[in-house]
Amino acid sequence: MMGYLSVALAVALAAFGSAYGQGIAARAAMEGTARQPEAAGDIRTTLILALAFIEALTLFSFVIAILLWTKIVV
Amino acid sequence: MDIAGRLQGVLEHVQPEVVFNLGSIPVTTTVVNTWIIMAILLPLAYLLTRRLSIVPRGAQHLLEMVAEFFYDLLESNMGKEGRKYLPLVGTLFIFILFLNLSWLIPGMKPPTTDLSTTVAFAVVTIVLVQIIGIRERGLWGYIKHFFQPNPFLFPLNLIEELVKPVSLSLRLFANMFGEKTVVAVLFLLIPLFVPVPVQILGIIMGLIQALVFSLLTVVYITSFVQGH
């Protein structure tokens, strides 16, 4: 039972952290675009890059959670 | 309603199955799918570039859009000499894009959902980046690059260099594998309309991941060619 709890907790914590970080990144991108609309293309590319970086950490945790799941449930 | 049992089956289907054996090397479904995508890409590339004209017509617009995007990216990061890295970056982008989008062909599992493919991409790319770094700055300049801002940062730079293949491969693999697993589980639970938004999200994420892979390659090449 603790196995299931640990898997769920791992993914939940990772998702929370990633959502918070990506929200901050999106806010900064939108403020930058509002301040200078000509740079919208550059800001969009950098935003996508930053979002993928932040998402990657969540996905590492997801992969570990899947490995744990297949081991625990046998 | 053996949902738990079938859920189990979905999640244990992580290993690709062996289709046939070439001599003593097992060939899995992932490799066969990659061959199919290559068989689609190579004739397409040949046919689309046969009659190029100065004023673009038809499909040439699309090719020029992609090429121009990467030209601008390389030039804004590295200056004029960045243009010679366009084949590497462009090939990575288009190949990974087609591999990720092969979801749309019914019955095919994208080869990037297998860790082997993504690790191959990442290792080849990072080794190529090291070779480009040695060729551009010489062996001494390449080693000095690790001591660059501060000699005490040498272990950190080394570890960062070794972690790059891991993070590149895991990012691509985990995105694709997560999408595939979520869609498979949704098909088990509510097969009617609910998987469709998730599949659309999966296609968008496939495109973005291909873009991010090539963008990161450009960033890594820049950090080697131009110093910290």
Asked, for residue B78, whether it belongs to a domain, the answer is yes
Residue B10 located in a structural domain: no
Hey, what are B132's tokens? 């480009």
Q: pLDDT truncated to tens, each residue of chain A (74 aa)?
A: 888 888 899 999 999 999 999 999 999 999 999 999 998 888 988 898 888 888 888 888 888 888 787 777 65
Is B41 inside any structural domain?
no
Angle between helix B29-48 and helix B86-101 axes, rounded to 10 deg: 120
Does any domain span residue B122? yes
> Which residues in chain A touch residue B211, judged by CB atoms under 8 angstroms apart?
48
Q: Which of B38, B85, B21 is nearest to B214 (CA)?
A: B85
**In this structure, is residue B49 part of a structural domain?**
no
Taking CB atoms and an 8 Å cutoff, what residues of chain A touch B177? 63, 66
Closest CA–CA distance from residue A71 to any residue of chain B (Å): 10
For residue B42, being part of any structural domain is answered with no
Is B16 a domain residue? no
Q: What is the pLDDT of residue A26?
A: 95
Give me the domain span that covers residue B170: 59-225
ipTM above 0.85 for this complex:
no
Mutate to test the interface with A, among B15, B74, B113, B208 (most CBs of A within 10 A): B208
User: Nearest to residue B177, comparing CAs of A30, A7, A63?
Assistant: A63
Distance CA B96, CA B4 (A): 34
Taking every pair of Cα atoms in chain A, the longest distance, rounded to a whole number of angstroms, is 55
Question: For position B184, what pLDDT does the model report?
Answer: 81
Residue B106 lies in a domain: yes
Count of beta carbons in the 10 Å neighbourhood of residue A43? 19
| d(C-alpha A60, C-alpha A44), whole Å | 25
**C-alpha distances in Å from residue B22, one per residue of B19, B25, B28, B87, B153:** 10, 5, 11, 31, 47
Which among A52, A63, A66 has the least Cβ separation from residue B170? A63
Number of domains in chain B: 1
Q: Which residues of A touch B178 (CB under 8 A)?
A: 59, 62
pLDDT tens figures, B22-61: 767 778 888 888 988 999 999 988 887 777 767 767 778 8
